[in-house]
Amino acid sequence: MGAPAWRAPERGLRTRGEGGHHRPVTIAELESMLPAGFLDARLRRIEIDYVERTARLDLVVDGGDREADGIAEREAWRPAHLVLSDVVFVVVEPPATQREAFAGEARIASSRPATRREREALPPVPPGSFCHALFASNWGARLFLAARNARLYWAAAPAAVQAEAR
């Protein structure tokens, strides 16, 4: 098994520290750069490469400009790749038992660092790594992501997502 089949675009959200080098970033930090964080995001796919210790979550997130005049620019939902490196674990709770509840995309109703109580029920997370919890409302299930670094890449222009939704 070599490198992952997918390739991240060259540009992601800015995560450069002093000297222009990329610094480790948490999911919570990435969310703070988005108008609505991952609230109401749609999770379409999860891909994990155990050999490379990477994971990619394909999402549709609000990437709009809150200062824009037009509503289309303010609420521009965009496909994005959340890419985790130095992955410690990815835990996905089983979705609801009704097939209709988990068919299709997962709707993210909350996204936050995992609580101490949640972390006690999960494998240990080494120093320098984060543990993040997502709740998929239509699944009635949580996802826990632990890694050292997170990056967010845009997959397409906002217009492409709007056209897809029609």
Return d(Cα 111, Cα 134) in angstroms, integer.
4
**Residue (of 55, 47, 50, 65) closest to 27 by Cα position:** 55
Q: Give the pLDDT confidence score for residue 16 in this predicted structure.
A: 46
HSE-up (13 A, CA, CB side) for residue 50: 1
Return d(Cα 107, Cα 138) in angstroms, integer.
6
In angstroms, the first-to-last Cα distance of the chain is 38
What residues form DSSP beta bridges with 84? 55, 150
Task: Please work out, in degrees rounded to the nearest 5, the angle formed at the alpha carbon of residue 75 by the alpha carbons of 72 and 81.
Answer: 115
Mean pLDDT over 138-161 rounds to 83
Confidence of residue 11 (pLDDT cuts 50, 70, 90): very low
By the 8 A CB rule, do 93 and 142 touch?
A: yes
Query: At residue 44, what is the residue type?
Result: R
What residues form DSSP beta bridges with 77? 62
Q: What is the pLDDT of residues 49-105, one digit of tens each?
A: 999 999 999 999 987 666 777 776 667 788 999 999 999 999 999 887 777 666 678
Mean pLDDT over 104-108 rounds to 89
What is this structure's pTM?
Answer: 0.78
Task: Write down the domain spans for the chain.
Answer: 22-165
By the 8 A CB rule, do 56 and 83 touch?
A: yes
Q: What is the pLDDT of residues 140-149, one digit of tens each?
A: 999 999 999 9
Confidence of residue 34 (pLDDT cuts 50, 70, 90): confident
Return d(Cα 147, Cα 131) in angstroms, integer.
7
Which one-letter DSSP state was computed for residue 18? G
